[in-house]
């Protein structure tokens, strides 16, 4: 039996369109921070690091046995300085292609996704990652929707996932407006309970503001 999906895998799975397997039209930088935050959160849940006080500290340097996480754990272990969460989010967000590629490979090897290569006009390559059965994505969505609609204390894993999805602006792409209508306070409460998710949200906010400022500067006539 396959082990449960990691946060990295679930975020990557939810970032793909149900029908086509194409990536949803998200800000690439925002998803970068979501995946970076998921790496840190997965390592913390595995008992390898702690993020208390907004500082990442190594708790156990032994590999987790999960190749999706261990190279990033090794990078943290090799640095003698206890950096803030924001520092590692910046480092790992720059590694989005490697993190995303590894996550996709894991999902394919587990029989959840398949890789399809197509060509437009016989020239332009187009790669898609449709699900094999779509059961896993439906399960994640159903689980999170049930949690958002209830007032029960959220499990730590799901609270962190909602926090990361909210922070990288993926939550609105996962659910329709009707599914989460009237539950903004609940979502904010869950999202605010996770320090890594809060840092992802802040990093994403600063990045979006910087992009908007840059666009405004280039469009201002002289």
Most confidently modeled of 26-30, 81-85, 218-222?
81-85
Instruction: Give, as one character, the DSSP assignment of residue 123.
Output: T
The full set of domain ranges for the chain reads 7-219
What interhelical angle do 85-93 and 67-78 show, nearest 10? 130
Return the pLDDT at 48: 97
Residues in the chain: 222
Query: Between 62 and 218, where is the model more confident?
Result: 62
Pick the range with the lowest mean pLDDT from 20-24, 94-98, 114-118, 126-130: 126-130
Q: Which helix (H) or strand (E) holds 53?
A: none
Q: Determine the angle formed by the axes of helices 28-45 and 85-93, rounding to 10 degrees.
A: 120
Which helix (DSSP H) or strand (DSSP E) does residue 155 occupy? none
Across the range 1-6, mean pLDDT stands at 82
- 73-98 mean pLDDT: 94
The torsion defined by the Cα of 28, 194, 191 and 145, in degrees rounded to 10, comes to 90
How many whole angstroms from its chain centre is CA 8? 6
Q: Looking at the chain, list the stretches that DSSP marks H as alpha helix, in order from N- to C-terminal side.
A: 7-14, 28-45, 67-78, 85-93, 96-109, 135-149, 156-167, 171-174, 177-180, 184-191, 195-219
The answer to whether 168 touches 37, Cβ cutoff 8 Å, is: yes
pTM: 0.87
pLDDT tens digits along 5-48 = 999 999 999 998 888 888 888 776 888 989 999 999 999 999 99
Architecture of the domain whose range is 7-219: Orthogonal Bundle (1.10)
98 vs 212: CA distance, rounded Å: 27
Instruction: State the CB neighbour count (10 A cutoff) for residue 51.
Output: 20
Sign of the Cα pseudo-torsion (202, 205, 209, 214, in order): positive
pLDDT digits (tens, 9 = 90+) for 108-122: 999 888 888 765 555
**Mean per-residue pLDDT of the chain:** 86
How, if at all, do strands 116-120 and 57-58 pair? unpaired
Is the pLDDT confidence value at 220 over 70? Answer: no
SS3 117: strand
Residue pair 126/117 in contact by the 8 Å Cβ criterion = yes
Please state which of the ranges 123-132, 144-153, 157-166, 168-177 shows the lowest mean pLDDT: 123-132
Q: Which residues contact 122 (CB under 8 A, 6 or more apart)?
A: none
């Amino acid at each position: 039996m396959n082990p449960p999906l990691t946060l990295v895998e679930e975020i990557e799975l939810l970032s793909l369109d149900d029908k086509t397997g194409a990536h949803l039209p998200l800000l690439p930088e925002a998803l970068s921070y979501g995946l970076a935050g998921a790496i840190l959160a997965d390592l913390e849940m595995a008992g390898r690091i702690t993020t208390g006080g907004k500082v990442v500290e190594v708790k156990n340097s032994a590999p987790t046995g999960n190749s999706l996480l261990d190279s990033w754990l090794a990078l943290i272990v090799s640095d003698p300085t206890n950096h803030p969460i924001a520092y590692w989010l910046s480092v790992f967000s720059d590694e989005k292609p490697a993190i995303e590629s590894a996550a996709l490979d894991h999902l394919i090897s587990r029989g959840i996704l398949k890789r399809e290569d197509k060509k437009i006009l016989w020239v332009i390559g187009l790669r898609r990652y449709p699900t094999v059965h779509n059961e896993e994505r439906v399960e994640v969505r159903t689980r999170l929707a049930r949690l958002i609609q209830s007032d029960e204390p959220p499990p730590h894993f799901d609270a962190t996932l909602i926090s990361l999805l909210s922070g990288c602006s993926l939550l609105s792409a996962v659910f329709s407006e009707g599914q989460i209508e009237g539950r903004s306070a609940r979502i904010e409460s869950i999202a605010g309970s996770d320090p890594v998710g809060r840092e992802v949200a802040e990093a994403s906010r600063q990045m979006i503001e910087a992009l908007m400022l840059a666009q405004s500067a280039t469009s201002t006539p002289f």
